[in-house]
Amino acid sequence: MNKLLQTDGGHSDEHGLPPMSSIKRWLVTTNHKDVGILYIVTSLFFLVMGGVLALLIRLQLWLPRAPGEGLLSAFAYNQSVTAHGLIMVFWFLSPFAFGFANYIVPIQIGAKDLAFPRLNALSYWLYLISGILLGVSFFQGGTFNGGWTVYAPLNLPAFTPQVGATSAILALLIFSVAITAGSVNFLTTIHRMRAKGMTLMNMPLFTWTILLTVWMMLFAFAALLAALMILSSDRILGTTYFSTTGTQGSLLWTHLFWFFGHPEVYIVFFPALGAMAEIFQTFTGRRIVGRKWFIAALVLVTVQSFVVWMHHMFLTGINLEIKTIIMITTIGISLPFDLMVFSLIYTLVKGRIQFTTPFLFAFGGLVLFIIGGITGVFLGAVILDYEFRGTYWVVAHFHYVMVGGVTGLVAAIYYWFPKITGRMYDEFLGKVNFVLYFIGFNLLYFPLFIAWETPRRVFTYAPSLIPWHQMATIGGFILALSFVVMLYNFFISLSNGEEVGNSPWEYASTMEWALSSPPPLENWDGVPTYENGELEFIPEKIATDGGEITHE
C-alpha cells in the first residue's frame, strides 16, 4: 500500500445534500451509501415484523391445538405462516443483503456510485412502498393466506377473496419491479464501472456473489413478475389463467413459481456466502484457498440454478424421465457448494485466526450451512423426498440454509459496522449476541428434524412430538433475544463506540478499508486504480488527461 494517497477523512463536501441528521436528507438522497443504510434499516424493521409472526406461529405450536384454541384462529394462523415466509424471503433477506451491496460494492470496485443513482433510489422507494402495502393488507380483511408459494388455484379470489390478499399480490408485484430495476443497475455498475486493473477475476468475492446474484435476479424475477401479472389479471380483471375450471392452472403456476423460486434460494444465500468469504479471509489472515475454483463454482451454481426447479415438484405431475433428469441436476448443484465449503474450511489452515464477532458469525454460519446441506442431500433422493414432502424435514432443512444465510449476513453487519458508522461495536455484547444466537438457532431448528413427521403449516400434531415443539418455541425466543442484543449493541455503539480509522481489521485487503470510516460522499479524491498491481489513488487531472502517472 505504498504510494497510496489517503483520502481525506474530514471531507465535508455534501453536494448540497442536507446533513445526515435531517430527515429530508434521507428522502432526497440518491447516494449509494445512503441508500444502502436505508435498505439495512428498513430490512431490519421487516425482520422484526417477520420475526414477531414467527413467534406467534411458535406459540400456537406450543401444544397441538383444537380449532379455535390458542392465540391464533385457523385463518390468522394461515396468514401468519404466509406473511412470515413472504416477509423473510422477500422483504428482509434480499434487501438486507442489498443494503451491503449498495454500500460496499461501489467502494470495492472503485465506482463513485451506482450507474443509475436515481434508479437506485427508485428501487428502494418501491421496495418500501411494497412493504407498507403488505403491512396494510393485514387490515383489509386479512392478507394472503395460501402460503408463501402462492399455489394456484388457492391464489384465486374464489378461494382467497380478501381485498388484503390482492394487496399482498400487488405488493409482491411492486417488489419484483424494484428488484428488476435494481439488478439492471448493479449489472451495469459491476460490468462497466470497475477501476482500472480490477478485472472480473480480481474482484473481491463479495462483489462476485452480488454480480451473480443480480444475474440470477434478472432472469428469475422476470418469471415471477410474469406470473404475478397474470395472477393480478385473474384477481382484478377477472381473467381465468389459473382458473379452477381449467385443468392445468395449478401446474402452470407451480412451474412459473419454482422457476423463480429455486434460483431465489441462491439469490438470498449468495450475498451471505460472499460476505462469509471476505470475513474468513480477513480474520484468518489467509487468502481463500482455490480462489478461481471458488469463483468457477459460484458461476456454475448460477447457471445450474435454472435447471433444478422441478425438484420442488417430484409429486406434482411430472413423469419418471423428468424426475430422473432433475434428480441428476439437483445432485449436480450440490457439488459446487461442497467445493466452496471445503475452500472456506481449508482457508482456516495456517491462519492467525481472530475470533471476533464477525468471524464467529461467519464460522457459525458455515457450520449451520453444512448441516443444511447434508439434510438437503436427503431431499435430493427422490424416494426420500416423497415422504419428506410437506413435512417439517423441509421446514428444518431450508431454515438451516436460509437462516444459515442470515447468520452470514449478521457477520456482515458486524464486519462492516465500523466502516459504515465510523465506530466500533461492543465486542463483549457481540459475543453474547453470538452465543445466544447459536444456541437459540439450534434449539429452534434442530428439534424440527426430530419432529419431522409434523405436517407443514398445521397446528395439530401428534402429542408425542410436544417436547420437541416446545423446545423449538423456547429456542425461537432465545433467537429473538439475540437480535435484541444485536440492535442494542449497535444502538449504544453509534454514540459510545470507539472511533475507528480506515480499517480496524489487520488483514483486510479490499478497497473499502482504504477509505475513511465512513467514507466521504464521493468516496475518494482522485481516481482509484489497480493498474500497477495494487491500489492507488491518482489525482483526477492526471487520470482524465490520460497522462503518465509519475512515481517518485
Residue 374 within binding range of another protein, rule CB under 8 A: yes
Kindly give the residue spans of alpha helices, DSSP state H, lying in 422-525: 427-450, 466-496
CA distance linking residue 401 with residue 376, whole number of Å = 9
Among 137, 185, 281, 517, binds another protein (CB under 8 A): 281
Q: Which of 47, 210, 308, 327 binds another protein (CB under 8 A)?
A: 327
Smallest separation (angstroms) from another protein to the CB of 75 = 5
Cell 464477525, residue? 358
Which helix (H) or strand (E) segment holds residue 294: the answer is helix 291-304
> Counting contacts by CB under 8 A, is residue 324 touching another protein?
yes
Residue 269 to residue 236: CA distance in whole angstroms: 34
Is 514 a binding residue for another protein by CB under 8 A? The answer is yes
Among the listed residues 188, 232, 334, 470, the single contact to another protein using CB under 8 A: 334
Nearer to another protein, 18 or 285 (CB): 285
State how far the alpha carbon of 147 is from the alpha carbons of 30, 70, 243, 399, 508, in Å.
35, 20, 18, 16, 42
| Contact (CB, 8 A) for 56 and 83 | no
Instruction: Report the C-alpha gap between 282 and 358 in whole angstroms.
Output: 10
- The reply to whether 460 sits near another protein by the rule CB under 8 A is yes
The distance of closest approach from Cβ of residue 472 to another protein in the complex, given in angstroms and rounded to an integer, is: 17
Nearest in space to 194 (alpha carbons), one of 105, 97, 299: 105
Q: Is 500 in the site for another protein (CB under 8 A)?
A: no
Query: What cell does 174 get?
Result: 411492486
- Please, are residues 445 and 400 in contact by the beta-carbon 8 Å criterion? yes
Report which of 491, 509, 396, 403 is spatially closest to residue 445, judged by C-alpha positions.
396
Q: Using CB under 8 A, pick the residue from 252, 382, 435, 466 that binds another protein.
A: 382
Interface with another protein, residue 431, by CB under 8 A: no
**Stretches 93-101, 267-275, 352-360, 437-445: which one binds another protein (CB under 8 A)?**
352-360
Which of residues 9 and 285 has its CB atom nearest to another protein in the complex? 285
Residues 53-72 that bind another protein (CB under 8 A): 65, 67
Residue 522 binds to another protein (criterion: CB under 8 A): no
Nine-digit cell string for 212: 451473480
Per CB under 8 A, does 497 bind another protein?
no
CA distance 396 to 474: 16
Q: Which one, 130 or 510, has the nearer CB to another protein? A: 510
Stretch that binds another protein, among 97-105, 108-116, 283-291, 406-414 (CB under 8 A): 283-291
Among 123, 207, 503, 523, binds another protein (CB under 8 A): 503
d(CA 323, CA 23): 54
For position 287 contacting another protein by CB under 8 A, the verdict is: yes
Q: Which is nearer to another protein, 4 or 236 (CB)?
A: 4
For residue 455, state whether it binds another protein (rule: CB under 8 A).
Answer: yes
* Cα–Cα distance for residue pair 379/203, rounded to 1 Å: 34
Q: Which is nearer to another protein, 218 or 450 (CB)?
A: 450
From the number of C-beta atoms within 10 Å of its C-beta (0-12, 13-18, 19+), residue 238 rates as exposed
Rounded Cα–Cα distance for residues 437 and 431 (Å): 10
# residues contacting another protein (CB under 8 A)? 105
9 lines the binding site for another protein (CB under 8 A): no
What is the Cβ-side half-sphere exposure of residue 121, based on CA atoms within 13 angstroms?
Answer: 11
The 138-177 contact track toward another protein, x by CB under 8 A, reads -------xxx---xxxx----x------------------
The verdict on 29 binding another protein (CB under 8 A) reads: no
Segment interacting with another protein (CB under 8 A) among 73-81, 261-269, 395-403, 481-489: 73-81
Measured over the CA atoms of residue 274, residue 277, residue 278 and residue 280, the dihedral's sign is positive
Q: Which of 8, 387, 427, 540 binds another protein (CB under 8 A)?
A: 387
SS3 510: coil
Any contact of residue 525 with another protein (CB under 8 A)? Answer: no
Name which position in 9, 18, 197, 526 contacts another protein (CB under 8 A). 197
Q: Binding segment for another protein among 35-43, 257-265, 374-382, 417-425 (CB under 8 A)?
A: 374-382
Q: Which residues pair with residue 391 across a beta bridge? A: 455
Chain residues 390-429 in contact with another protein, contact rule CB under 8 A: 390-391
Least spacing, CB of residue 441 vs another protein, in Å = 15
Our finding on whether 339 is near another protein (CB under 8 A) is yes
Rounded (10°) CA dihedral 99, 437, 268, 29: -10
Helix, strand or coil, per DSSP, at residue 454:
coil
Q: Tell me how far, at minimum, the Cβ of 106 lies from another protein, in Å.
A: 17
Residue among 498 and 506 whose Cβ is closer to another protein:
506
Q: Which is nearer to another protein, 124 or 257 (CB)?
A: 257
Helix (H) / strand (E) element for 529: namely strand 527-529
Kindly report whether the peptide bond that precedes residue 455 is cis, defined as omega within 30 degrees of 0.
no
Do 8 and 516 meet the contact criterion of CB atoms below 8 Å apart? yes
The terminus-to-terminus CA distance of the chain in angstroms comes to 14
Number of residues in the chain: 552
Measured from the CB atom, is 148 or 260 closer to another protein?
148
174 or 371: CB nearest another protein: 371
Residue 549 interacts with another protein (CB under 8 A): yes or no: no
Nearest approach, Cβ of 5 to another protein (angstroms)? 11
Query: Interface residues for another protein in 104-133 (CB under 8 A)?
Result: none
- Calpha distance 507→358 (Å, rounded): 14
What gap in Å lies between CA 348 and CA 462, rounded to an integer?
44
Choose which of 119, 181, 218, 453 interacts with another protein (CB under 8 A).
453
Cα gap 374→384, rounded to integer Å: 14
Among the residues of 381-426, which ranges form H helices?
Answer: 382-388, 392-421
Which C-beta is closer to another protein: that of 117 or that of 290? 290
**Which of 436, 511, 521, 538 is close enough to bind another protein by CB under 8 A?**
511
